[in-house]
Amino acid sequence: MNEIILRTENLRKEFGNVVPLKNISLDVKRGEIIAIIGGSGTGKSTFLRTLNLLERPTAGKIFFDGKDISTQPPEILRQRVGMIFQSFNLFAGLTLIENAIAAPVELKGLSKQEACERAKKLFESVGLDEKIFNYPDELSGGQQQRAAIVRALMMEPEILLFDEPTSALDPTMVGEVLAVIRMLAKKNLTMIIVTHEMNFAREIATRVLFFADGEIYEQGTPAEIFDAPKLPKTIAFIRRQKYFRYEISRRNFDLPEMQGRIQAFAEKYGLTAKYINRLQLCCEEIIFATMAGCYSATDKISMAIDITYVEAEKILELALTSGGRVYNLFDENDDENLSVKILRGYGKNFRYVRDEDLNKISMEVVAP
């Protein structure tokens, strides 16, 4: 079993009243490739910056090779941990080779000649051997990011941290940077990569962390996270789900208000007018038919309509939860129940379950 090279215990970071990191405990083994995914503002980049001591943790500890480095001078750690930033962070007034050799000459005591020889080999390995005397502003974004990776490798780091290395790149340049990271992965380097490239994370990572609300919300192998996530926020993120809920507590609820809110929700995600009309009609039919079947004239109404749009798969799901007596609308005869005929004509994948005294009915609304 690989030894633990990096460990965090109850790591917390505060910026005034903002707490981007709440309670991060993580063990990283040598040779692991960890991909960190999650929405904006969930603490991913702050976590990397704290690992590299660009930000000091407010509470908790960071251990490197078993030693607490949380309060140590950052220069000691940065000789062993390299970081690649979104915006490259190359020195504009230095050529690529000057960018590459500056730190190892100053911090590791390499001779300029030795550093240059090492740099030339690394630049050749990433396809930049003909650009070493160019300045950063003479290169494309992809070339600059490859040069930034070389600069980090010059220190022979034991861990590489990547903070969304392709987010500032034109889509045509993303592939060249990912190719270099793939090459590094084959060399058994320990890497922690914050990325929004889901397919890349699935391909390269040995473990995936999903961040939410400043915490590691769920983690697992790429197959576990991308194919079978267990927790609601992970599922929503992976499937890119958008939710809408409307609760009904009386028979004469405000139907136009509900339909207006459904339209605003659906338009936001680019559904066509015909698709929206179909969704609104299905909502109306499923609500009133279920209301009539579940409740007597004197019963108190308690219902909730839930709409889920799975953006990644273009799937629109409609669900209704209600109290009252046991009632499955889709058990009704199509020929005798107009609502069922409409719903079956506009949908598929009909489901019903009775759970904790609640009726739960759902369907997929098919696009026109």
Q: Is the pTM of this model over 0.85?
A: no
Are 276 and 244 spatial neighbours (Cβ–Cβ below 8 Å)? no
Tell me how far apart the alpha carbons of residues 77 and 70 are, in angstroms, rounded to a whole number.
Answer: 10
Question: Which tens digits make up the pLDDT trace of 160-214?
Answer: 999 988 887 877 788 889 889 998 988 888 999 999 888 889 989 999 999 998 9
Residues making up the chain, counted from first to last:
368
Question: Which tens digits make up the pLDDT trace of 227-285?
Answer: 999 998 998 888 887 889 999 999 999 999 999 999 999 999 899 999 999 999 999 99
Q: Say what percent of the chain tops pLDDT 90.
A: 70
Question: Which domains, ranges and CATH numbers included, belong to the chain?
Answer: 4-238 (3.40.50.300), 240-365 (3.30.565.10)
Tell me how far apart the alpha carbons of residues 343 and 154 are, in angstroms, rounded to a whole number.
Answer: 64
What is the chain's alpha carbon radius of gyration, rounded to the nearest angstrom? 27
Are 6 and 31 spatial neighbours (Cβ–Cβ below 8 Å)? no
Taking the CA atoms of residue 91, residue 97, residue 98 and residue 99 in that order, the dihedral angle to the nearest 10 degrees is: 30
Tell me how far apart the alpha carbons of residues 131 and 193 are, in angstroms, rounded to a whole number.
Answer: 26
Q: Say what percent of the chain tops pLDDT 70.
A: 100
State which H helix or E strand residue 316 sits in.
strand 315-322
Neighbours of 3 (CB within 10 A): 9
